[in-house]
């Protein structure tokens, strides 16, 4: 699909040591590669199990200089396996990027343009209540990547991320689809020759009866959690992160810690 670009798909060797994508439970899935990111789709829920992407902060283009494009289905899959525009009509659900478009605008200009286009495939989108992933509106969730890239200590300004919705059996049903209440993200980077990572879960208080009106609950909380807690919540396994988990944050984060400002995270 994006002819003429050099970097297609998530690069597991982007940091000092390889970081493999998480493994998902044995449900119907489809793995897809795009420019600078890859994902595994849960074809029963019609949403991503996980998305994995890389950011080269030294070669980022400004999102202001690259035009947004239309959301669209991935024609490698049938429409019945994807969550498309019918879910988002006449309500207050956002088409929320999992891998942020701003994160993918790096490399050569053709690569950045291709990453921009690929970010708008519905396979990289989840239904989210408005403001949840908008860094321009000062949401903590959308500022986590920015906070890491601004650190002086990270090597080569490179960051690897994993993220997605928590596909829980208890998720509320709206228009015949289960809407994820929670989302998760792992931010990995290298410091002093060692890979480090931080795990986060965002909870959005969703009431399906209020999505089509202005009377909905828009209180979001970002929690920093342990890797063990993240695996329990998501049902995913992050084997390659295990060797980099020193356990130092485990006691402090037991049960999760609310993050009010991305700069308050102990990176």
| Among the ranges given (20-29, 125-134, 137-146, 158-167), the one the predictor scored with the smallest mean pLDDT | 125-134
126 near 96, Cβ under 8 Å? yes
pTM (2 d.p.): 0.91
SS3 262: helix
Name residue, tokens 């994995």: 52
Q: Mind listing the pLDDT tens digit for each residue in 211-220?
A: 555 344 345 7
What does the CA dihedral 253, 11, 127, 90 come to, rounded to 10 degrees? Answer: 150
Res 266: pLDDT: 83
**DSSP states along 208-256:** GGGTTSS-----EEEEEE-HHHHHHHH--B-HHHHTT---TTTTTTTT-
**What contacts 115, CB < 8 A, 6 or more positions away?**
34, 35, 36, 37, 101, 104, 105, 106, 107
Q: What confidence tier does 122 reach under pLDDT thresholds 50, 70, 90?
A: very high
State the average pLDDT over residues 95-122.
97
| Among the ranges given (107-111, 113-117, 215-219, 257-261), the one the predictor scored with the smallest mean pLDDT | 215-219
Distance separating alpha carbons of residues 212 and 55, to the nearest angstrom: 35
State the average pLDDT over residues 104-119.
97
Q: Mind listing the pLDDT tens digit for each residue in 228-244?
A: 999 999 999 999 999 89
Q: Mind listing the pLDDT tens digit for each residue in 7-33?
A: 589 999 999 899 999 998 776 688 999
Give the residue among 210, 239, 218, 213 at the shortest CA–CA distance from 227: 239
Six token digits for residue 155: 């090597």
| Among the ranges given (70-84, 117-131, 159-173), the one the predictor scored with the smallest mean pLDDT | 117-131
- Residue 164 burial (10 A CB sphere; 0-12, 13-18, 19+): buried
Mean confidence (pLDDT) of the chain: 87
**Among the residues of the chain, which ranges form H helices?**
109-118, 140-149, 227-234, 239-242
Opening angle at CA 21, ends 168 and 35, nearest 5 = 105
Q: Mind listing the pLDDT tens digit for each residue in 63-99?
A: 999 999 999 999 999 999 999 999 999 887 889 999 9
Res 42: pLDDT: 93
User: What percentage of residues in the chain have a pLDDT greater than 70?
Assistant: 84
Give the residue among 165, 182, 170, 180 at the shortest CA–CA distance from 222: 182
Res 254: pLDDT: 63
Q: Where is pLDDT greater, at 196 or 3?
A: 196
Res 267: pLDDT: 87
Six token digits for residue 240: 């390659």
Six token digits for residue 36: 């600078």
Give the residue among 170, 81, 179, 73 at the shortest CA–CA distance from 126: 179
Q: Where is pLDDT greater, at 162 or 143?
A: 162
b/e burial code for range 72-90 (CB count within 10 A of at least 16 → b): ebbeebeeebbbeeebbee
Res 4: pLDDT: 47
Distance separating alpha carbons of residues 141 and 123, to the nearest angstrom: 20
Res 25: pLDDT: 76
Res 69: pLDDT: 97
């Amino acid at each position: 699909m994006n002819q003429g670009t050099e970097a297609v798909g998530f690069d597991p060797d982007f940091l000092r040591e390889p970081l493999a994508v998480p493994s998902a439970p044995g449900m119907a899935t489809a793995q897809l590669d795009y420019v600078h990111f890859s994902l595994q789709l849960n074809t029963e829920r019609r949403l991503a199990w996980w998305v994995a992407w890389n950011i080269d902060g030294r070669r980022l283009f400004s999102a202001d200089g690259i035009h947004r494009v239309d959301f669209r289905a991935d024609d490698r899959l049938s429409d019945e396996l994807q969550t498309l525009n019918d879910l988002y009509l006449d309500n207050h659900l956002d088409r929320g990027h999992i891998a942020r478009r701003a994160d993918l605008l790096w490399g050569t200009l053709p690569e950045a343009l291709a990453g921009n286009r690929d970010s708008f495939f519905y396979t990289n989108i989840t239904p989210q209540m408005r403001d949840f992933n908008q860094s321009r509106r000062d949401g903590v969730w959308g500022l986590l990547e920015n906070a890491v890239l601004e650190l002086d200590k990270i090597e080569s300004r490179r960051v690897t991320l994993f993220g997605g919705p928590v596909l829980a059996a208890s998720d509320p049903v709206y228009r015949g689809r289960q809407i994820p209440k929670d989302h998760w993200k792992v931010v990995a980077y290298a410091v002093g020759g060692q890979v480090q990572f931080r795990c986060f879960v965002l909870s959005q208080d969703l009431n399906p009866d209020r999505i089509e009106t202005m009377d909905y609950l828009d209180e979001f909380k970002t929690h920093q959690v342990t890797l063990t807690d993240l695996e329990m919540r998501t049902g995913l396994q992050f084997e390659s992160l295990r060797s980099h988990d020193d356990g130092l944050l485990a006691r402090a984060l037991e049960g999760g810690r609310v993050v009010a400002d991305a700069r308050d995270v102990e990176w």
